[in-house]
Amino acid sequence: MNMLIVEDVMLLLLDDGTGQIAGSSSLTPVLGGGVLLELALAEHVWVEEKQGFWHAAKVHPVPGTPAPADPLLQGALGVVAEKPRTAQDLVGRLGRNLRDHVTERLAQRGIVRREDTTVMGIFPSTRWPAQDVRHEQELRGAVELVLGHGAAPDARVGAVISLLSAADQAHKVLTVPGVPRARSRPGRRWSPRGPGPPRPCATRSPR
């Protein structure tokens, strides 16, 4: 199943039973980071070299590359193309309003189902409990091989782990008995290339 990084992250943050989202306080930049990482791995964006203390490195679209096929990524690349911005700025912009969009996409795939309820019979609330857990189980297994057994992550699994760590939620995904909680907390950062500082975009000049 071809899933976006942001969809995989949301899937792991959703509780299968309650349909509630963990780490909601940091959800916007985490989801925005997932979209930016997706663009970076597909070489749609690049980040300039930092030129000094007072000059923040900016993210740019790679000229001459075909547009992404996915409408979500097309819109995100359009935001990047508006003007040079820092990755920190972009993850906030890209993550706005993604919560409902991404959960709806998961529901359309039949992975979760939407349940509209009310709290105290007054306040509307939406839950997203699991419906088809096959992809989630495969994804959890890949994450646990890295966090619990020291396997080297591929680019996409490394990106998912990096974003879960940024939300302080990686320890909730890890279920391998006997593995210390600290192994999967933000103190150990993961990039798409493996452990170390997260790198949201490739640093290079455009082709």
Per-residue pLDDT tens over the stretch 157-203? 999 999 998 888 887 766 655 555 535 444 444 444 433 334 445 54
Is the model's pLDDT at 84 over the cut of 60?
A: yes
In tens, the pLDDT along 110-146 reads: 999 999 888 777 888 899 999 999 999 999 999 988 8
Q: Long-range pairs for 38-43 at CB < 8 Å and ≥24 separation?
A: 38/4, 38/5, 38/6, 38/73, 38/76, 38/159, 39/68, 39/73, 39/76, 39/77, 39/80, 39/201, 40/192, 40/200, 40/201, 40/202, 41/5, 41/155, 41/156, 41/159, 41/192, 42/68, 42/73, 43/202
Name the least confident of 13-22, 39-48, 163-172.
Answer: 163-172
Is the model's pLDDT at 152 over the cut of 80?
A: yes
The domains found in the chain, sorted by start residue, are 5-195 (1.10.3630.10)
The mean pLDDT of 86-101, rounded to a whole number, is 95
- In the chain, % of residues over pLDDT 70: 82
